[in-house]
Amino acid sequence: MTNFQLTPKTGYVVSAAPDFANNNEQTFVDYYLPLMSPNALGLFSALQYQLKERPMISDRQPITKLLSQLNVGIRAITEALSQLEAVGLIKTFTRNDELGAVAVFELHPTLTPAAFMKDELLSVQLLEMVGPERFEQLGTAALSYYLDVDGLTNVSHSFFTVFHPDRDYLADDVALKRTQKQIKDATSHRVATNQVPTDGFDLHFVAQQLSGAGADPEIVNQYQKLILVEHRTYGYDELAIARLIEQSIDVVDNQFSVEEFKKRARNASHVSTSAQQESRPSDKPVNELAMTSLPENVQELIRQCESQAPMEFLAQLKHQTNGYVSSAERYTVERLVQQSGLSDGAINLLLWYIIGEQGLATVKANLADAIANNWGRAGVQNSVDAFNEIKRHQAARLQRQRAGRSFHSNGRKGSVKEKLPEWAKKGYQPKTRSASPEQLAESKRLLAELRKNRQKRHQGNGGDH
């Protein structure tokens, strides 16, 4: 579906992630709600109460039920939904069928307060919204029942000192195997929120640089996830990251400041990223043989996607469309890098599709999340995989269209005009000429600009030798 928007005719189904039992309402109110509008609490609560066992797509309800229950308009519901999606509490999946447009709202649990405060993106956003005093109160509350046991001896029993399961029996138990497989199949496509690939980034070298400069190398171990997110998002190399860390250490108390590090990384990116990216290797290199069947202009686009950091790529796209990267877009890109499991090349192709191909002015969190989720389920690893996945969905769309026309020709009521899934717009495959001449011209112009800027960087780099 392209540019999906909730309407009064949209149907919806509520489901829950397998770990939704971990959800905590008080954590939602204290830690999540300050980031969102008041309607987000009402929407999340209403959806929880509408959960049913074994939900089915066909058992849908009209969105007007939510509007009536919450006494708000469609715009307020859309805003609250996008905020819940952005903080990871709802994932929205959509499709069109003979009954019309339907959205599945999959509920996800809150993090624990401690995990929330450790999350580099959520915690910084919370600090901005509530201020230092309240933020410190919430940090203290996250450790309300914790007692420092340093100096004490842990004498707790392990599992196997208490229980003695029959391993031979467990290995052959049909119910155990069937249940574990069922859970594994339902959750295997999920990417852990703290899983940020290193992509060849040498953390040990960063630690060595800090040690040589008199800084504590343990910072690298303690903030490894944050360092990798900034590296992948902005394209900083090891030396640049080490310098940013050094500059973020308070000279008075010698403590590393996460907020200062993130601020410096963002402020410095527009100055230094281009220089770093001239020879930046792809995190998951694309085999040239895999691109031989693709049109030349698509091959060039993929090379661009694989050669730049996501934030630089987005900034370049926005500059060419006379726009700028908003704070919300920056947050969305950082979260894609941190949580989606996609390579930089795939993330860049996602950004290209939204800004360059669809012609949208901004990267909306819910649209980007829908694309990333679907690609993750399909096993997409790089930009070639992403492009091929788009083609696969296009073929499926054409098949559904033919089925819809056949359904309509039989004189049956209720058929609807098919819409393309969000990230598989008709005409994206270059051989399909369904896009307007204006859209095609704009796409070619943007690609030419990307190629021109890339050549300028290489020429400038060659001139230094």
* Residue 41 tokens, joined: 């609490």
* Whole-number pLDDT of residue 301: 85
Helix spans in 155-308 (H): 159-162, 167-172, 174-187, 203-212, 218-222, 224-234, 238-247, 258-277, 296-307
Both 232 and 345 in one domain: the answer is: no
User: How many residues are there in the chain?
Assistant: 465
Q: How confident is the model at residue 15 (pLDDT cuts 50, 70, 90)?
A: very high
Both 394 and 254 in one domain: the answer is: no
Q: How many domains does the chain have?
A: 3
Both 381 and 260 in one domain: the answer is: no
* pLDDT tens, position by position, 267-300: 765 444 444 444 344 444 555 656 777 788 888 8
Q: Is residue 46 classed exposed, middle or buried when 0-12, 13-18 and 19+ CB atoms within 10 A define those classes?
A: middle
In whole angstroms, what is the distance from residue 76 CA to residue 82 CA? 10
pLDDT at 434 over 60: no
Average pLDDT over residues 85-98: 89
* Whole-number pLDDT of residue 302: 85
Specify which of 142-151, 169-178, 281-290, 317-326 reaches the highest per-range mean pLDDT. Answer: 142-151
* Whole-number pLDDT of residue 442: 64
* pLDDT tens, position by position, 103-162: 999 999 999 999 998 887 788 788 888 888 999 999 999 999 989 888 888 888 877 678
Both 455 and 323 in one domain: the answer is: yes
Amino acid at 249: I
Decide: helix, strand or coil at residue 44: helix
* Whole-number pLDDT of residue 339: 77
* Whole-number pLDDT of residue 13: 95
In this structure, is residue 371 part of a structural domain?
yes
Both 464 and 366 in one domain: the answer is: yes
Q: How confident is the model at residue 19 (pLDDT cuts 50, 70, 90)?
A: confident
Look at the pTM and tell me if it is higher than 0.85.
no
* Whole-number pLDDT of residue 431: 43
* pLDDT tens, position by position, 209-221: 888 888 888 888 8
Locate tokens 């050549």: which residue?
455
User: Which candidate, 309, 303, 298, places its Cα nearest to that of 334?
Assistant: 309
Q: What residues make up the domain containing 84? A: 11-113
Q: How confident is the model at residue 38 (pLDDT cuts 50, 70, 90)?
A: confident
In whole angstroms, what is the distance from residue 214 CA to residue 225 CA? 22
* Whole-number pLDDT of residue 461: 54
Q: Which contiguous run of DSSP H or E holds residue 90?
A: strand 90-97
In this structure, is residue 372 part of a structural domain?
yes
In this structure, is residue 358 part of a structural domain?
yes
CA angle (187, 190, 195) in 5-degree steps: 135
Q: What's the N-to-C CA distance of the chain in angstroms?
A: 50
Average pLDDT over residues 424-435: 47
Backbone dihedral region of 17: left (phi > 0), alpha (psi from -120 to 50 degrees) or beta?
beta
Mean pLDDT of the chain: 77
Both 258 and 319 in one domain: the answer is: no
Q: How many C-alpha atoms does 113 have within 13 Å on its Cβ side?
A: 18
Both 272 and 293 in one domain: the answer is: no
In this structure, is residue 396 part of a structural domain?
yes
In this structure, is residue 295 part of a structural domain?
yes
In whole angstroms, what is the distance from residue 291 CA to residue 55 CA? 41
Rg (CA), the chain: 25
In whole angstroms, what is the distance from residue 79 CA to residue 87 CA? 13
In whole angstroms, what is the distance from residue 36 CA to residue 44 CA? 12
Domain-ending residue, one of 251, 277, 303:
277
Helix spans in 106-217 (H): 113-118, 120-141, 159-162, 167-172, 174-187, 203-212
Decide: helix, strand or coil at residue 93: strand
In this structure, is residue 163 part of a structural domain?
no
Higher per-residue pLDDT: 118 or 463: 118
Both 394 and 252 in one domain: the answer is: no
In this structure, is residue 389 part of a structural domain?
yes
Both 244 and 344 in one domain: the answer is: no
